[in-house]
Amino acid sequence: MKKPRVLIVEDESAIAELIAVNLRHNGFDPIWSEDGDSAQRELDAVLPDVILLDWMLPGQSGLVLARKWRGDARTKTIPILMLTARGDEPDKVAGLDAGADDYITKPFSTQEMMARIRAVLRRRTPDRASEAVSVGGLNLDPVTHRVSWHGAPLKLGPTEFKLLNFLMNHPERVHSRAQLLDKVWGDHVFIEERTVDVHVKRLREALGAGGALVETVRGVGYRLTAQAVAQVESQPRVAAPQA
Ligand code: CA
C-alpha cells in the first residue's frame, strides 16, 4: 500500500524535522517546504494526501496559502491542517474560514498530530459500498442507483440515496449525526449537524411506508432497523410537549 504523502509547510527547521521524523515513524511519507513558493512547486509536481500548514511563514502566510489552495481546482480537496502558535478562537475560525479542515495549536504532542491527520484522512474516504443490499422490504442497488420498497420503485435525491446506502449497510446500529456526516458526507466536515436531520426527514418522505425503518434514537442519532416500530416521529428534532 502506498504511504500517505504529507506536505509540511513550516519555516522552522527544528519543528519540521521533528514532525517529519514522527510521520516517517508512523508510516507516512513526509515532504518539507520552507515557504509558500516551494510548497507550490511541490503541489505542482505531486499532490500530497494531507498538507500540514504553518500559520506564520515568511512571504505568504498560512492563511493566505490555505485560501489560495482551496480556491484552486487541483488542490481544493486536499485536507489542510493548520499549525498555529495562537490559541485564540478568532484565529481558529479564520483558519477554518480560509478552508483549513482542522488546526493544531503549538506545542502539540505527536499523538495528537497523528490522530488529527488520521481523522482528516478518514473523513476524505467515506464509506462507499457497491453491493446491492436489502433490509426489511427495502432494496437498494448502488450500481443501478435503484431503490425499491417491496418491489415498488422509489425516487430518492442523491444525498438521500447515499444516506440510505450507508444506513442499509450498517443496519440495527445507532449512528450519531457526527458519524453520519463523516461517513456519508465525508469531505464536507463543516456542514452543520442539523443538515443530517433535514436529509433524514427527506429520506423518510421519499421512502413512504418504508420510512418507518429509519428510527430516531432520541439524544443519540439514527438507526435503520428491520424491526421498525409502527409509530415514527415525522419531526425528530422538535421536542413537542406531550399533551
Ligand atoms: Ca513559522
Residue 128 in any domain: the answer is no
Ligand 1 center from residue 58 Cα (angstroms): 8
Ligand 1 center from residue 115 Cα (angstroms): 22
Ligand 1 center from residue 21 Cα (angstroms): 18
Residue 220 in any domain: the answer is yes
Does 66 share its domain with 99?
Answer: yes
Ligand 1 center from residue 123 Cα (angstroms): 27
Contact 145, 89 (CB under 8 A): no
Residue 107 in any domain: the answer is yes
Q: What is the dihedral of CA 223, 224, 228, 229, to 10 degrees?
A: 30
Ligand 1 center from residue 74 Cα (angstroms): 25
CATH code, domain with 211: 1.10.10.10
Residue 238's pLDDT is what? 45
Does 144 share its domain with 92?
Answer: no
Contact 42, 70 (CB under 8 A): no
Ligand 1 center from residue 60 Cα (angstroms): 11
Task: Give the pTM.
Answer: 0.54
Residue 239's pLDDT is what? 46
Does 113 share its domain with 222?
Answer: no
Does 163 share its domain with 112?
Answer: no
Ligand 1 center from residue 212 Cα (angstroms): 54
Ligand 1 center from residue 186 Cα (angstroms): 30
Distance of CA 19 to the CA centre of its chain: 24
Contact 114, 26 (CB under 8 A): yes
Domain boundary among 122, 147, 178: 122
Does 103 share its domain with 151?
Answer: no
Does 30 share its domain with 108?
Answer: yes
Residue 62 in any domain: the answer is yes
> For 143-184, what is the HEC assignment?
CCCEEEECCEEECCCHHHHHHHHHHHHCCCCCECHHHHHHHH
Residue 72 in any domain: the answer is yes
Residue 87's pLDDT is what? 63
Tens of each residue's pLDDT in the chain, 243 residues:
678 999 999 999 999 999 999 999 999 999 999 999 999 999 999 899 999 999 989 999 999 999 999 888 888 888 999 988 766 667 777 777 787 888 888 888 888 888 888 888 877 655 555 678 889 899 999 878 899 999 999 999 888 999 999 999 888 889 998 888 878 887 555 667 888 999 999 999 999 999 999 999 988 999 999 886 444 434 444 444 544
Ligand 1 center from residue 160 Cα (angstroms): 43
Residue 179's pLDDT is what? 85
CATH code, domain with 113: 3.40.50.2300
Give the Cβ contact number of residue 26 at 10 Å: 17
Does 98 share its domain with 14?
Answer: yes
Domain count within the chain: 2
Does 150 share its domain with 118?
Answer: no
Does 78 share its domain with 111?
Answer: yes
Does 167 share its domain with 198?
Answer: yes
Residue 41 in any domain: the answer is yes
Ligand 1 center from residue 44 Cα (angstroms): 22
Does 117 share its domain with 137?
Answer: no
Ligand 1 center from residue 18 Cα (angstroms): 14
Residue 243 in any domain: the answer is no
Residues in CB range of 80: below 8 A, 6 or more apart = 50, 51, 53, 66, 69, 70, 99, 100, 101
Does 90 share its domain with 150?
Answer: no
Domain with 98, as residue range(s), is: 5-122
Domain boundary among 122, 147, 181: 122
Query: Residue 155: which region, alpha, beta or left (left: phi > 0; alpha: psi -120 to 50)?
Result: beta
Q: Report the distance separating Cα 134 and Cα 151, nearest Å.
A: 11
Residue 53's pLDDT is what? 96
Residue 99 in any domain: the answer is yes
Residue 80's pLDDT is what? 92
Ligand 1 center from residue 26 Cα (angstroms): 23
Residue 228's pLDDT is what? 63
Ligand 1 center from residue 162 Cα (angstroms): 41
Q: Report the distance separating Cα 46 and Cα 238, nearest Å.
A: 49
Ligand 1 center from residue 121 Cα (angstroms): 24
